[in-house]
Amino acid sequence: MRIDPEKAKALPIRSIEADVERGRLRFFAKAVGQTDPIYSDVDAARRAGHPDLPVPPTFFFSLEMDDPDAFSFLADLNIDLGRILHGEQSFTYHSLAYAGETLLLKSRIADVHTKKGGALQFLVKHTDITRPTGEPVAEAEFSLAISHPEVTS
């Protein structure tokens, strides 16, 4: 089923409050092959001038997975999960975040566009990540490609 761009952009997505935990940061750093000790050793982080373990790049995407309904927007848009592929993701960083902080994630569908004569539709989700004070930490964007094999060019 094709995605209605206006319906998608108007779809409310629940905000997430996420606690950044040291153990999770260490696990993430190890999982992505991050060998810099500032991401796993508090003493090394402090020697480098950080108050605690800094959040590694791309970690913010995993925070969205804290919500048990992280992908409920796909069902709300009647997207067949068997037809989606991860397109791409990008991050814009405004300030470092650290273990022990609570971050707020507010997402919205930013765009829906087509390619290949309509055989592919792309859904772009944008997330603003802030501290509870509203101070921006980062922006995350990811896109999903939805195939429509019934469309032939």
pLDDT digits (tens, 9 = 90+) for 115-145: 887 778 999 999 999 999 999 999 999 999 9
Q: Give the Cα separation of 124 and 55 in Å (integer).
A: 24
Cβ atoms of residues 16 and 64 within 8 Å: yes
Model pTM?
0.88
pLDDT reported for residue 68: 77
Token pair, residue 130, equals 């802030």
* Main-chain dihedrals φ then ψ at residue 102, nearest 5 degrees: -110, 130
Going from N- to C-terminal start, the domains of the chain cover 5-147
Q: What are the residues whose beta carbons fall under 8 Å from the beta carbon of 72, sequence distance 6 or more?
A: none
CATH topology of domain 5-147: Thiol Ester Dehydrase; Chain A (3.10.129)
Cβ atoms of residues 138 and 60 within 8 Å: yes
